[in-house]
């Protein structure tokens, strides 16, 4: 999907994000603490709601277009039960559901036609009342199989908070339900199936090296462009004595790299965090599903300057149907992305606003846009003047 506009409020925490437009690439810039990360988390809250979660005290409105050019507006609000901690307790499920925040209202529009019109008393689907449904879960979740709702559900579920800063550790990146690689290889035997799967990126790499060698070689070559010392990459079980590894892990595929002039392969847990994160972000550009919306907080974290340049360039050059919402303080990223894609974020008390950069006359000077940006009072103080 592609998000065109978004607004959000959390009444339990007394803050709100005023409505703002997004483009294919949106870079949120501003002082620390103004709410850039909160914006990304607010978007991810919608994915949780579509997945069936009840979130206390929030309201939202999002406009987006699906891959098949269906235009949706989805809005709603959960009741505010104050600052509380809600814990799912399996032993007392009915009582627990009663304690969760209820939905006060919810609406879904498809190409200006109202599909869902819900309040605390009734639910109308295409103008007709439905049977009694959970008051704590979104209709997007409850009726996700319906023809006019499913594209909206699928779109919202493509929100992806990308973070690989800690994922190089052994065992991470592979779910422990993954026990039979050979049988799963038959299922994920095309690039399309791999991209549309919900597999984690390391597993997608494992399958694509067999299913589509051309794509795998492209990823490998781009990685070698960034790190010229790399000779090869493979995703395979570690070559080690059985007694050194639990039976559960001995057939697991791990990412391994080989450096020029070095005899032994470097296993996943010994790859540097910056190198591993670069490989993951690079791989995601090729192996995610079409319509993915990447949310990347502090894009430069754990990346060396060579990685920042190359990954930024790959994002800018991507021809796939992807959307990116990034935050960054790094001058190269901010300058490279271009000021037309910036949104300057400010915060006054609990109100977060985003501003188009042209209102500040950025770009109308011989100085770099970044240098003009950091001299703005709004950037330095985080408050709208």
Q: Same structural domain for residues 99 and 153?
A: yes
Report the distance separating Cα 210 and Cα 107, nearest Å: 44
pLDDT of residue 332: 86
pLDDT digits (tens, 9 = 90+) for 318-376: 899 999 999 999 988 898 888 999 999 999 999 999 999 989 988 776 578 889 999 99
pLDDT of residue 244: 62
Q: Is residue 322 part of a domain?
A: no
Q: Is residue 134 part of a domain?
A: yes
Q: Same structural domain for residues 7 and 154?
A: yes
Report the distance separating Cα 99 and Cα 93, nearest Å: 10
Residue 324, judged by CB atoms within 10 A of its CB (0-12, 13-18, 19+), counts as: buried
pLDDT digits (tens, 9 = 90+) for 190-241: 999 999 998 888 889 999 998 999 999 999 999 999 999 999 999 988 876 5
Lowest mean pLDDT among 28-37, 179-188, 363-372: 179-188
Q: Same structural domain for residues 146 and 181?
A: no
Lowest mean pLDDT among 42-51, 66-75, 160-169: 160-169
Half-sphere exposure of 37 (CA within 13 A, CB side): 9
Q: Same structural domain for residues 283 and 351?
A: no
Q: Is the pLDDT of residue 88 over 50?
A: no
Report the distance separating Cα 34 and Cα 172, nearest Å: 32
pLDDT digits (tens, 9 = 90+) for 231-282: 999 998 887 654 566 665 666 788 999 999 998 899 888 898 888 989 999 9
Q: Is residue 306 part of a domain?
A: no
With bands split at pLDDT 50, 70 and 90, how would you rate the model's confidence at 91? very low
3-class state of residue 375 by DSSP: coil
Domain limit, last residue, from 258, 288, 318: 288
Q: Same structural domain for residues 201 and 145?
A: no
Strand ranges (DSSP E) for the chain?
2-10, 15-21, 25-29, 58-65, 71-78, 103-110, 113-118, 123-125, 128-129, 159-161, 230-236, 254-259, 266-267, 293-296, 323-327, 342-348, 351-356
Q: If you ran DSSP here, which 8-state letter would residue 360 be given?
A: G
Q: Same structural domain for residues 139 and 23?
A: yes
Residues 6+ apart with CB under 8 A from 184: 178, 207
Residues 6+ apart with CB under 8 A from 92: none
Lowest mean pLDDT among 143-152, 164-173, 215-224: 164-173
Half-sphere exposure of 36 (CA within 13 A, CB side): 25
Q: Is residue 302 part of a domain?
A: no
Residue 78, judged by CB atoms within 10 A of its CB (0-12, 13-18, 19+), counts as: buried
Q: Same structural domain for residues 239 and 111?
A: no
Q: Same structural domain for residues 88 and 153?
A: yes
> Where in the sequence is the domain holding 265, given as residue range(s)?
166-288
Q: Is residue 296 part of a domain?
A: no
Q: Is residue 312 part of a domain?
A: no
Report the distance separating Cα 168 and Cα 275, nearest Å: 9
Q: Is the pLDDT of residue 21 over 60?
A: yes
Q: Do the bridges between strand 71-78 and strand 103-110 make them parallel or antiparallel, or are there none, so unpaired?
A: antiparallel
Number of domains in the chain: 2
* Whether 336 contacts 316, CB under 8 Å: yes
pLDDT of residue 78: 97
Q: Same structural domain for residues 250 and 105?
A: no
- Show the CA angle centred on residue 73, arms to residues 67 and 76, nearest 5°: 130
* Whether 9 contacts 58, CB under 8 Å: yes
Q: Same structural domain for residues 81 and 37?
A: yes
Sign of CA dihedral 172, 173, 178, 179: negative
Q: 318 pairs with which residues across the strands?
A: none
């Amino acid at each position: 999907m592609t998000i065109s506009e978004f607004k959000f409020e959390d009444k339990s925490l007394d803050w709100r994000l005023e409505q703002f437009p997004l483009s294919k690439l949106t870079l949120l810039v501003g002082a620390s603490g103004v709410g850039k990360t909160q914006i990304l988390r607010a978007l991810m809250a919608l994915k949780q709601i579509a997945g069936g979660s009840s979130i206390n005290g929030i309201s939202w409105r999002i406009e987006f277009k699906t891959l098949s050019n269906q235009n949706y507006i989805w809005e709603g609000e959960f009741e505010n039960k104050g600052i509380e901690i809600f814990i799912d307790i399996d032993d007392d499920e009915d009582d627990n559901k009663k304690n969760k925040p209820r939905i006060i209202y919810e609406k879904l529009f498809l190409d200006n036609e109202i599909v869902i019109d819900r309040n605390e008393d009734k639910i109308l689907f295409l103008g007709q009342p439905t049977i009694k449904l959970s008051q704590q879960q979104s209709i997007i979740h409850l009726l996700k199989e319906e023809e006019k709702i499913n594209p909206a559900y699928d779109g919202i579920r493509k929100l992806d908070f990308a973070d690989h800063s800690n994922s190089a550790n052994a065992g991470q990146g592979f779910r422990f339900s993954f026990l039979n690689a050979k049988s799963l290889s038959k299922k994920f035997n095309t690039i399309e199936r791999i991209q549309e799967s919900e597999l984690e990126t390391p597993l997608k790499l494992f399958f694509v090296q067999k299913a589509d060698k051309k794509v795998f070689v492209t990823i490998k070559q781009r990685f070698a462009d960034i790190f010229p010392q790399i000779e090869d990459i493979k995703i395979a079980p570690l070559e080690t004595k059985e007694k050194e590894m639990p039976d559960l892990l001995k057939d697991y595929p791990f990412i391994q790299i080989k450096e020029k002039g070095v005899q032994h392969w470097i296993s996943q847990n010994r790859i540097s965090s910056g190198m591993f994160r670069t490989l993951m972000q690079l791989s995601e550009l090729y192996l995610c599903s079409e319509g993915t919306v990447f949310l990347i907080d502090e894009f430069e974290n754990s990346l060396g300057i060579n990685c920042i340049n190359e990954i930024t360039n790959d994002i800018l050059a991507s021809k796939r149907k992807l959307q990116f919402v990034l935050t960054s303080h790094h001058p190269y990223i901010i300058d490279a992305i271009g000021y037309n894609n910036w949104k300057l974020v400010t915060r006054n008390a609990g109100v977060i606003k985003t501003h188009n950069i042209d209102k500040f006359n950025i770009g109308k000077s011989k100085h770099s846009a970044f240098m003009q940006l950091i001299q703005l009072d709004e950037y330095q103080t985080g408050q709208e003047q």
